Amino acid sequence: MPAVVVIGTQWGDEGKGKIVDNLAEQADVVVRYSGGSNAGHTVVVDGKEYKLHLLPSGILYKGKTCVVANGVVLDPESILKELRGMEAQGIDVSGLRISDRAHVVLPYHKKLDELQEAALGDAKIGTTNKGIGPCYMDKAARVGIRVADLIDPEVFAQKLARNIAEKNKILTAIYGAEPFDYATVLAQYNEYAKQLAPYVTDTATLLHQSVAKGEKIMFEGAQATFLDLDHGTYPYVTSSNPIAGGVSTGAGVGPKAITTVVGVVKAYSTRVGEGPFATELLNETGDHIRQRGHEYGTTTGRPRRCGWLDARVVRYAAMLNSLDYLAITRLDILDELPSLKICVGYRHNGRLLEEIPASLKVLAEVEPIYEEMPGWQQDISGIRKYEDLPLNARRYVERLSEVVGVPLGIVSVGPGREQTIILKKMF
Ligand code: GDP
Ligand code: IMO
Ligand code: MG
């Protein structure tokens, strides 16, 4: 019954999609348990790039059960677009199962996301404008519409009427925006409901049966530890719990069912959107990493902020997620740099900080403690064995593992399935 969780240890876009795809080959079930279409997971198969937002990365293998669990906020338009896109490419999507308890993103959530951000002005979060925050707000306020409600025309008509009336008041009175037309949204979502209904089920029970049968399950984290609503750099976070603990609430699987937690670490740091970033490089080195790494958002196309690897934050992620192994990605992006820095701790007002400060004011003032290491300045993208990596590349990842206190499990040297060095079998 192995159940492996793959999570992001930084600010997202670590390459979770690639690692999940790699491990999914051996899995029977692949599950998304949090977030929504704000995620953008890239998988490259035989040189062909697939960008997944709501569909679990396991969809690219035939015969896997792919679950969109209760913790996800589901944008019907977005998932149907992905589904049709997959089908058009000849990919079998019959293994998809959608939780009847997942909450539904409605057009007013996306509009409110946009308007709330604009109203924040300089204090904006830099969201993906996918309606994630407003949808989770409705869930927490207990007025949300779940997939089970969507596929029952009578219940949906009632709930939508109540919600749209309230949202239209907010849209017009607070933001001076156009109201939504009830009949139009109803007709549009009734159509989506018909198309989604065949995939809908109680996924918690499905997963429970899967565990009982001894099947191999993979949980695909979206977003990342420092975007976690509780543990990230609040308020510059998303509105869900991407950490490994989110699997229990987001999929209805008890913590004891989880056997292994893999933390994906990009070999340097990036962040898209606003918020503190101690090791950010606002110089030529940052530009070099952005250009070489094509660091532009999968979901929004925004340039990602780039910086040195922050092992201190990864160590915190190891603690929060009970990490068993590290999966290091994009090591090849550093191939050309003559020297590299790893942040191993934070200092504030001359004092070494034991914790990651909750105060954003303090976090903005911390001084990273760096260790400088020589680069390897050679192309590593064709290397398939750990021993064949240049000594300086091995030293770099081993130092990270040492500071974080978690062993290396995977080292990735390119986006392709084959560009993966496996040090530890997860299943
Ligand atoms: P995710 O959101 O964590 O799944 O990551 P994204 O897909 O948003 O961004 C990671 C990008 O890095 C994608 O374009 C991947 O194809 C790519 N990628 C993953 N691993 C590697 C690697 O080891 N080297 C290189 N060069 N690219 C990689
Ligand atoms: P994956 O799964 C990187 C960021 C947004 C913004 C903040 C809140 O591809 O790693 P939201 O739309 O969620 O309310 O935005 O979170 N963000 C991500 N950054 N990767 C992601 O997902 C992200 N999902 C959300 O940029 O700063
Ligand atoms: Mg991404």
Residues 92 and 56 in one domain: yes
Q: What is the rounded distance in angstroms from the CA atom of residue 23 to the CA atom of residue 29?
A: 11
Query: Where is the domain boundary, 212, 236, 260?
Result: 260
Cβ of 133 closer than 6 Å to ligand 2, yes or no, is yes
- How do the pLDDT tens digits run along the chain, 427 residues long? 699 999 999 999 999 999 999 999 999 999 999 999 999 999 999 999 999 999 999 999 999 999 999 999 999 999 999 999 999 999 999 999 999 999 999 999 999 999 999 999 999 999 999 999 999 999 999 999 999 999 999 999 999 999 999 999 999 999 999 999 999 999 999 999 999 999 999 999 999 999 999 999 999 999 999 999 999 999 999 999 999 999 999 999 999 999 999 999 999 999 998 999 999 999 999 999 999 999 998 777 889 999 999 999 999 999 999 999 999 999 999 999 999 999 999 999 999 998 999 999 999 999 999 999 999 999 999 999 999 999 999 999 999 999 999 999 999 999 999 999 999 999 9
Residues 206 and 78 in one domain: yes
Residues 157 and 204 in one domain: no
Are 364 and 273 contacting, i.e. CB atoms less than 8 angstroms apart?
no
- Residue 233: which domain range? 3-99+200-260
Residues 307 and 386 in one domain: yes
Distance 13 CA to ligand 3 centre (A): 4
Residues 343 and 362 in one domain: yes
pLDDT attached to residue 179: 98
Cβ of 227 closer than 6 Å to ligand 2, yes or no, is yes
Distance 173 CA to ligand 3 centre (A): 35
Residues 271 and 149 in one domain: no
Q: Which residues are catalytic?
A: 13, 41
Residue corresponding to tokens 């954003």: 360
Closest ligand 2 atom to residue 227 Cα is 16
Q: What is the rounded distance in angstroms from the CA atom of residue 129 to the CA atom of residue 19?
A: 26
Query: Where is the domain boundary, 196, 225, 249?
Result: 196
Closest ligand 2 atom to residue 36 Cα is 13
Residues 218 and 340 in one domain: no
Residues 51 and 92 in one domain: yes
**pTM of the shown model:** 0.97
Cβ of 222 closer than 6 Å to ligand 2, yes or no, is yes
Are 11 and 248 contacting, i.e. CB atoms less than 8 angstroms apart?
no
Give me the helices (H) in 89-142, please: 107-120, 132-140
Are 281 and 30 contacting, i.e. CB atoms less than 8 angstroms apart?
no
Asked if the structure places residue 94 within a domain, the reply is yes
Closest ligand 1 atom to residue 49 Cα is 16
Distance 205 CA to ligand 2 centre (A): 29
Q: What is the rounded distance in angstroms from the CA atom of residue 320 to the CA atom of residue 228?
A: 11
Distance 39 CA to ligand 2 centre (A): 6
Return the beta strands (E) in 267-349 as ranges: 269-271, 305-307, 309-310, 325-329, 339-348
Cβ of 292 closer than 6 Å to ligand 1, yes or no, is no
